[in-house]
Amino acid sequence: MTKIKNYIDGESKEPSSDEWLDNYNPSTGEVYSKIAKSTQEDVENAYQAAKEAFPSWSNTTLEKRSKMLLRIADLIEANLDKLAEAEAKDNGKPFSLARAVDIPRASANFRFFGNAITQFASEAHESVGLNTMNFTMRSPIGVVGCISPWNLPLYLFTWKVAPAIAAGNCVVAKPSEVTPMTAYLLGEILTEAGLPKGVLNIVHGTGPETGQAIVAHQHIKAISFTGGTTTGEHIARTAAPMFKKLSLELGGKNPNLIFADCNYEKMLATTVKSSFANQGQICLCGSRIYVEEAIASRFKKDFVEKVSKLKIGNPFDEDTNLGALVSKEHLEKVENYIEIAKNEGGTVLFGGKRVSVKNFENGYYLQPTVIEVEDNNCRIQQEEVFGPVVTIMTFRDEAEALQLANNVKYGLSATVWTNNLNRTMLLSKQLEAGIVWVNTWLNRDLRTPFGGMKDSGVGREGGFEALRFFTEPKNVCITY
Ligand code: NAD
């Protein structure tokens, strides 16, 4: 059975405790590999390797750093099938999705930041009339920590580590213990690319033990975290008194506002995706659908019809639309939310049941589920489910739509379907979300700021925002 070992100082290393966690294949329900259960000692070893590598890496020319990131990007691309297969097996997502989205995006992350670092510039301010010139230096922070979740495993892992090393930092990174396989395989790619030892160290293990050891480490000066809001809160509590730089990308409960004047067919096709892509396990999924009364009954009928045609099955079948949920615990959590919704008066318009897939009877499959609700304050409207479950509510007018959309603690993304320009502008301004998509969804330009407001996080990733996060500014003021 494959052992997912740590990648420390450029080498594959067993955990110091010799303890291993089970790694499940969610599409079969079987344990198929073992994961290093790293302790504080392993994190310390990773830190020491990163610290040793830092003086040289931070002084490596931008051209050389850039070339290294581009080489890693090329190697991810060259291993597309192998990585996509590993991702589908580890996470339960359709192989076709991993091949078309997750792995190309992981490669794009390295390519993007490999190029971006060559264009990253600091500012100068001349105090005119005072014979004074200020310029700002931006230096890498040192050793930084990156912690990522299970839903888009390699995609989100690389979204953090690529800008961190591009900016000249050395990294101690931890992927989710639920889906560690592709981060493990990335270690082999880093060696093949010739990344200097210690620049990027990957430790595996649980959040409360390995993750906590990274966050609480006295000399790891910045933490970039993506995961649940409760975990983010815990991390902030540990890191804030140590004055660490923090970037927190947390949960969402994103509204999808559908107005009668929209391009109906485009909206319908995209709304199926924004509801159920990756089994609804994307932080940006539009899990709360609000539809204008005038088209509500038509929409419900058409939406349910389209959803009923989605194929749930083996992630490796070409026509599979939804694979397995990531774990048994997660499947049970999602089912529990469906029960809560029913008990609170919700009406299941479609789905809600487990699916038994031939030859994969022990996998964690669930029907895409559509629930109509009337009360925006019920738990299914307020809490993140993070699975193949969407709710539908109707609204009368723009003001009501806005009020319903903003009435949650989260503020990650929002989608608006309309062809009215004034409404587009007003809603874009007033929606409490870090990202607003109008007549589109999951449309990403990597230069744009990415992140949420309210309980969806602190800080922004993407483009120069990420490079700013991973550098420390210093102003130098000179008079002449
Ligand atoms: P999680 O918070 O349980 O775990 C995320 C990571 O944090 C894992 O690597 C985990 O091991 C680690 N961790 C857990 N406890 C820790 C601790 N005490 N100290 C340090 N590290 C710890 O989240 P998850 O279940 O893996 O992912 C799902 C969540 O992630 C959802 O809430 C989803 O919305 C969110 N998410 C957000 C974004 C975004 O960009 N805003 C993107 C993807 C997922």
Contact indicator for 37, 19 with CB cutoff of 8 Å: yes
Sheet holding 170-174, edge to edge: 11-13, 6-8, 200-202, 170-174, 143-147, 222-226, 245-249, 457-458
Q: What is the largest CA-CA distance in the chain?
A: 79
Smallest CA separation from ligand 1 atom 14, residue: 207
Whole-model pTM: value is 0.98
Closest ligand 1 atom number to CA of residue 252: 34
Which among 226, 281, 331, 333 is the best mutation to test ligand 1's pocket, defined by most ligand atoms within 8 Å of the CB?
Answer: 226
Contact indicator for 244, 222 with CB cutoff of 8 Å: yes
Classified as helix, coil or strand, 332 is helix
C-alpha 184 – ligand 1 centre gap (Å): 18
Task: Decide whether 2-250+456-477 matches 255-438 in CATH topology.
Answer: no
CATH number of 255-438: 3.40.309.10
Q: How high is the pLDDT of residue 266?
A: 98
Separation between Cα atoms, residue 440 and residue 104, nearest integer Å: 20
Smallest CA separation from ligand 1 atom 40, residue: 249
Closest ligand 1 atom number to CA of residue 231: 2
Contact indicator for 388, 352 with CB cutoff of 8 Å: no
Q: How high is the pLDDT of residue 406?
A: 98
pLDDT values of the chain reduced to their tens digit, one per residue, 480 residues: 999 999 999 999 999 999 999 999 999 999 999 999 999 999 999 999 999 999 999 999 999 999 999 999 999 999 999 999 999 999 999 999 999 999 999 999 999 999 999 999 989 999 999 999 999 999 999 999 999 999 999 999 999 999 999 999 999 999 999 999 999 999 999 999 999 999 999 999 999 999 999 999 999 999 999 999 999 999 999 999 999 999 999 999 999 999 999 999 999 999 999 999 999 999 999 999 999 999 999 999 999 999 999 999 999 999 999 999 999 999 999 999 999 999 999 999 999 999 999 999 999 999 999 999 999 999 999 999 999 999 999 999 999 999 999 999 999 999 999 999 999 999 999 999 999 999 999 999 999 999 999 999 999 999 999 999 999 999 999 999
DSSP 385: -
C-alpha 150 – ligand 1 centre gap (Å): 7
C-alpha 161 – ligand 1 centre gap (Å): 16
Q: How high is the pLDDT of residue 351?
A: 98
Annotated domain spans of the chain? 2-250+456-477, 255-438
- Checking DSSP bridges between strand 245-249 and strand 222-226, what pairing results, if any? parallel
C-alpha 259 – ligand 1 centre gap (Å): 33
Closest ligand 1 atom number to CA of residue 214: 20
Smallest CA separation from ligand 1 atom 32, residue: 228
Give the helix ranges, DSSP H, for 194-292: 212-216, 229-239, 264-276
Which among 147, 182, 287 is the best mutation to test ligand 1's pocket, defined by most ligand atoms within 8 Å of the CB?
Answer: 147
Amino acid present at 308: S
Smallest CA separation from ligand 1 atom 19, residue: 212
CATH number of 2-250+456-477: 3.40.605.10
Catalytic residue among 249, 384, 398, 432: 249
C-alpha 226 – ligand 1 centre gap (Å): 5
Active site residue 249: yes
Question: Which residue ranges have their beta carbon within 6 Å of ligand 1?
Answer: 147-151, 156, 174, 176-177, 206-208, 211-212, 215, 226-228, 231, 234-235, 249-252, 283, 384, 386, 412, 452, 457
